[in-house]
Chains A and B, each alone.
Chain A
């Protein structure tokens, strides 16, 4: 079963941004802090510690429901797959995301979201990030139908 990327121990984060740079570099071929599926910031200065905003791998995913052109497709394990060709850059996915984990890249005008590929994980110096599966992935297993 494919895994889900979780920010499991943000208490240990030192705010180095290595994960953001790794995502931009490896997934988006960019030198960037914006083109990253994970966003790190403080809540009230350096001394208050760091938080990660990243896709929680919802299933069903509100962003998939909101996407009018099926550019966002439900990933079986939770989270989404994104099809560049189908995307009309409307931004509905970003508005639908309950945790603001989808960024609209200003230059390319396309949504940036975590695909749970795990490329960032080895670049965290303190193991704040981890690939998890099943119940450890902590997603809602209910059925609305």
Chain B
């Protein structure tokens, strides 16, 4: 634990089924989360080897403030992505961050390939590699249930990560499901687990730490908590949740629809946060250590027999999944979105990439670039049943078409044509068609996420709208966000943890004795993280924005190619400066 003056790492070799516990004082200066994962990739990673090389590491990290404050509860996974071969991160909530803290694991580094399908159990007083041959081929839901039954201990204090069939089949955008309804979703971490024959990981959080920070910590915690729960800074996340974005985006030409042929969808009210809340919301639940509760669970009752026979589905929904399985596919019925999300959840495949892939396939079929011989089902925007089949074909890589599509939309488009309308910004686009700054910010973001540099907010709010101002904004956001994801905070808490509040939190647990200047540290970590990415071959100057992104009306009108090129040029220069510094 960081406050004890060292970083505690469990290094596991799957080939031998053995682990090693390391205490490292020298790693404290990288903080945790993003900073620590990059530092560990430098040690363990094989930058020039295939992402599926057995010795490529999966690096799970938490940070110095995990567990010590509310919303400091996320975990980072650093790895070499099979999607494009670069070093990247993906982040997840659920119980994982908290359970890693109580397993006394600041980092878990997994290397090697198991000799047979296996799952790993790690806690403060246990570590074992168990036989998972009986779990191979099972969906994510059944897998977790089987593990809970077999490892019947530490109820409520364990976190279960697992892959579904898409991870086993090494689809390049297969995710890792974390507990129930949270994910290391993007960039194919699930495929890396699949390549290691690692079906699941169970972390048990079963130890305790004495707090030795004195009354100022208790007082500060109370103040922080009161502000968090007593004010409305977080209310939107609990209320409608992120699907509250659907209608504002729709009303501002920003909701990607029908493979981005449009930025609004007729009938979008049917997939709005308001519609979900009024008709399908079962309950909200929280990640461990977060009093907000932003996880919205939808309940759908379906009739399957004539004699009043029903079953029900329960699955979480958020803006991104609703965009990906809704507007992007032309679907405006919330019930159909729930059915698709349930399928995606079980197969363990990234929902955003899946939605964009199926949307591209639909347009490619419309335009005659592919036929039903390839797609096997007659996709049509707005018709969900075919997409339900599509999720299965993608996960199971049924034929050559799905094998290629499972490599990413760009790969499929380079084979069949249709590059112009491949909605890929580094990876398949997130659900914000706000304008050119968002498009560039996702394409060039460290993990190709809308959360890296928040370009969509610049599109939405900037008064002086120039590439130069956009660059300034993105750099500033990135610097602060990488600090938060090194703590590891949920990025929804960015309005709570202002730089001043974060500094106070840092001091209240005595960490200022280790690292004094957090601003300076943030910049160091930002630079270091990019250097690690460059070591795997990343070249910002190769950034491409497909033509579709300039052909559609956004909040900022039709994005100009000139504006996009200028911003790519500026950001490339800025990143290359980091490389040389």
Q: Is B19 an interface residue (CB 8 A)?
A: no
Residues of A within 8 A of B314 (CB): 47
Residues of A within 8 A of B179 (CB): 46
Pairwise interchain contact A32-B282, C-beta atoms closer than 8 A: no
Interface range on chain B (Cβ under 8 Å from partner): 35 or more
Residues of A within 8 A of B285 (CB): 14-15, 46
Q: Write the chain A residue with the least CB distance to B297.
A: A47
Q: Tell me which of B68, B208, B289, B292 contacts A34 (CB under 8 A).
A: B208
**A16-24, A69-77, A79-87, A137-145: which lies at the interface:** A16-24
Distance in angstroms from A75 CB to nearest chain B CB is 25
Distance in angstroms from A20 CB to nearest chain B CB is 9
- Alpha-carbon separation in the docked complex, A24 to B290 (Å): 16
> By CB atoms of chain A within 10 A, which of B98, B156, B180 has the most?
B156
Q: Tell me which of A14, A35, A40 contacts B208 (CB under 8 A).
A: A35
Q: Decide: A41 near B156, CB < 8 A? Known: A46-B180, A47-B180.
A: yes
Distance in angstroms from A16 CB to nearest chain B CB is 4
Q: Is A136 an interface residue (CB 8 A)?
A: no
Pairwise interchain contact B180-A16, C-beta atoms closer than 8 A: no
Pairwise interchain contact B156-A16, C-beta atoms closer than 8 A: no
Q: Tell me which of B67, B102, B156, B284 contacts A40 (CB under 8 A).
A: B156
Interface hits, B369-427 → A, CB 8 Å? none
Pairwise interchain contact B291-A41, C-beta atoms closer than 8 A: no
Pairwise interchain contact B208-A25, C-beta atoms closer than 8 A: no
- Alpha-carbon separation in the docked complex, A32 to B209 (Å): 6
Q: Is A8 an interface residue (CB 8 A)?
A: no
Q: Write the chain B residue with the least CB distance to A31.
A: B209
Q: Is B538 an interface residue (CB 8 A)?
A: no
> By CB atoms of chain A within 10 A, which of B155, B208, B209, B282 has the most?
B208
Pairwise interchain contact A46-B297, C-beta atoms closer than 8 A: yes
Q: Tell me which of B98, B156, B208 contacts A30 (CB under 8 A).
A: B208
Q: Is B205 an interface residue (CB 8 A)?
A: yes
Main SS class of interface, B = loop
Q: Tell me which of A14, A30, A34, A45 contacts B180 (CB under 8 A).
A: A45
Q: Is B225 an interface residue (CB 8 A)?
A: yes
Pairwise interchain contact A14-B293, C-beta atoms closer than 8 A: yes
> By CB atoms of chain B within 10 A, which of A14, A39, A40, A105 has the most?
A14
Q: Tell me which of B145, B207, B221, B290 contacts A25 (CB under 8 A).
A: B221
Q: Is A49 an interface residue (CB 8 A)?
A: yes
Q: Is B286 an interface residue (CB 8 A)?
A: yes
Interface hits, B247-286 → A, CB 8 Å? 282-286
- Alpha-carbon separation in the docked complex, A23 to B68 (Å): 13
Residues of B within 8 A of A40 (CB): 156
- Alpha-carbon separation in the docked complex, A18 to B69 (Å): 10
Pairwise interchain contact B225-A17, C-beta atoms closer than 8 A: no
Distance in angstroms from B3 CB to nearest chain A CB is 9
Q: Write the chain B residue with the least CB distance to A107.
A: B208
Pairwise interchain contact A32-B208, C-beta atoms closer than 8 A: yes
Q: Is B206 an interface residue (CB 8 A)?
A: yes
- Alpha-carbon separation in the docked complex, A134 to B339 (Å): 49
Pairwise interchain contact B208-A18, C-beta atoms closer than 8 A: no
- Alpha-carbon separation in the docked complex, A15 to B207 (Å): 19
B-to-A contact residues, CB < 8 Å: 67-68, 70, 98, 101-102, 145, 155-157, 179-181, 205-211, 218, 221, 225, 229, 282-293, 295, 297, 314
